[in-house]
Amino acid sequence: MFFSKKKFLVGALAIGSMLLFGGCGGGGDQPAASSGGGNEIVVGSNFELTGNLAQYGSNSGKGLKLALKEANDAGGAGGKTFKVIEADTKSETAESVNAATKLISDDNVQVLVGPAVTANVIAESQVATENKIPVIAPDATNPDVTVENDMLKPYIFRSCFIDPQQSTVMAQFAKNELNAQTAVLYLDSSSDYSKSLGKVFKEKFESDGGQVLMEEAFLSKDQDFKAALTKLQTANADVIYVPAYYEEVGKILKQARELGITAPILGTDGWDDPKTIEIAGADAMNNTYFCTHYFDKDADAQPFIEAYRKEYNEEPNVFAALGYDAGKMLIDAVERGGDTPEKIRDNLENIKDLKVGTGVITMDPKTHNPIKGAVVIETKDGVRELRAKIAPEG
């Protein structure tokens, strides 16, 4: 879900200071780990713990640690326990590389999980690949994370679906379920995540016979959206597509309804946080729909949700769920004999019908994207309801 690539020239890497935490035994935020190096899988948790992206990275890290703690409490995987060493990317691409370099060279991690956002994963991937250390990206939905210029990145994997899948789902939902013939787009021009999703939605919607009448843009951290919303309102479109993150989305929904906009408003997994309703208000969320990775009332998701509540005394969001899925992928790879980085890489590539927190996934070895389903959520009077369940592609 999150933030597309930027081109980097990575020269000499200056290793900056960073927030590192070793695994500790029993309870707390860290999974228990044995002290014997031969019996441990050392995991580098490389997330945005501070800075403007910390709400994404910190939740993903919590989900990862919960999965590995559960494995350790059950005796480990494949005769191994997991030790987590945390690093803070500080929500910066350069620090993502510095942190990954430190985790690999000084802490001797065998696998990296994170960062959350695409730009930081892409920045990290060069040093990980050079050192043949596998990376699991829980949240980075841009296709370039694992395949760039038609070339597979052999050590990079993800636990989330990709942008084209969810934008295609929402374009088809608008046409087939809402009978929409026209749409307008409201995009975050500071986010490649948002722009990529908007591009795919427009292409799919128009290829199916629809028409995109207008596009407007905002910037991350904007507060007042009424001028652009007023312009969009003049188009009188059947639906409004807003692929963005919950903080801005909540304000956009609230202000749109205050302007008298009643059209259905559609979104993506960046909406998937309880704070969206808190910011927008229950009334403003009526007649809204978004695509995401799982439905929190699905019976298959309850074990993860209940375990997360017990561990952290809070509700999980989608970032936590995808971090947990990344942990389950790693556990499976180790359980099947992944006791070295190369074997972990090979086993990640061959995941099949693995039950994770958000459902069941199989890894596509040609793209390193999980083959997994999606859901469309409708909100009615502040209550999320399952509107559609989309079967996995492939």
Same domain, residue pair 48 and 136: yes
220's CB contacts (< 8 A; 6+ apart) are 188, 190, 191, 245, 248
Looking at the structure, do residues 285 and 318 belong to the same domain, yes or no? no
* 155 and 169, same domain (yes or no): no
Query: Do residues 187 and 72 both lie within one domain?
Result: no
Does residue 206 belong to any structural domain of this protein?
yes
For residue range 291-349, list pLDDT tens digits in order: 999 998 888 899 999 999 999 999 999 999 999 999 999 999 999 999 999 999 999 99
State how far the alpha carbon of 274 is from the alpha carbons of 179, 227, 261, in Å: 28, 27, 23
The answer to whether position 147 is within a domain reads yes
* DSSP string covering 265-316: EEE-GGG-SHHHHHHH-HHHHTTEEEEES--TT-GGGHHHHHHHHHHHSS--
What total of structural domains would you count in the chain?
2
Please report which helix (H) or strand (E) contains residue 379, including its range: strand 374-380
CA gap 157, 394 in Å, rounded: 17
Same domain, residue pair 174 and 286: yes
Same domain for 193 and 100? Answer: no
Q: Are residues 316 and 225 in the same domain?
A: no
- Are residues 285 and 188 part of one domain? yes
Backbone dihedral region for residue 232 (phi beyond 0: left; psi -120 to 50: alpha; all else: beta): alpha
Q: Which of 292, 320, 349 is the last residue of a domain?
A: 292
Query: Of 244 and 17, which is predicted with more confidence?
Result: 244
One domain for residues 226 and 320: no
DSSP 190: T
For residues 96 and 388, give the distance between their C-alpha atoms in angstroms, rounded to a whole number: 37
Report the alpha-carbon distance of residue 131 to residue 338 in Å, rounded: 17
Q: How far apart are the first and last CA of the chain?
A: 20
In whole angstroms, what is the distance from residue 46 CA to residue 19 CA?
A: 10
Domain assignment of residue 3, yes or no: no
Domain that holds residue 255: 163-292
For 80-114, how does the pLDDT look when each residue is reduced to its tens digit (9 = 90+)? 999 999 999 999 999 999 999 999 999 999 999 99
Is residue 171 included in any domain, yes or no?
yes
Picking from 275, 292, 309, the residue at the C-terminal end of a domain is 292
In a domain, 361, yes or no: yes
pLDDT of residue 220: 86
In this structure, the answer to whether residues 288 and 311 fall within a common structural domain is: no
Looking at the fold, whether 77 and 177 belong to one and the same domain comes out as no
User: Mean per-residue pLDDT for 162-181?
Assistant: 94
pTM: predicted TM-score of the whole model, two decimal places:
0.83
CATH of the domain at 340: 3.40.50.2300
* Same domain, residue pair 63 and 49: yes
- The answer to which of 54-58, 130-134, 229-233 has the lowest mean pLDDT is 54-58
Instruction: Indicate whether 77 belongs to any domain.
Output: yes
Segment 25-52, tens digit of pLDDT: 333 344 433 333 479 999 999 999 999 8
Is 139 contained in some domain? yes
Last residue of a domain, one of 292, 321, 350: 292
Residue 319 resides in a domain = yes
Cis peptide before 115 (omega within 30 of 0): yes
* Bridge-based pairing state of the strands 156-158 and 151-152: unpaired
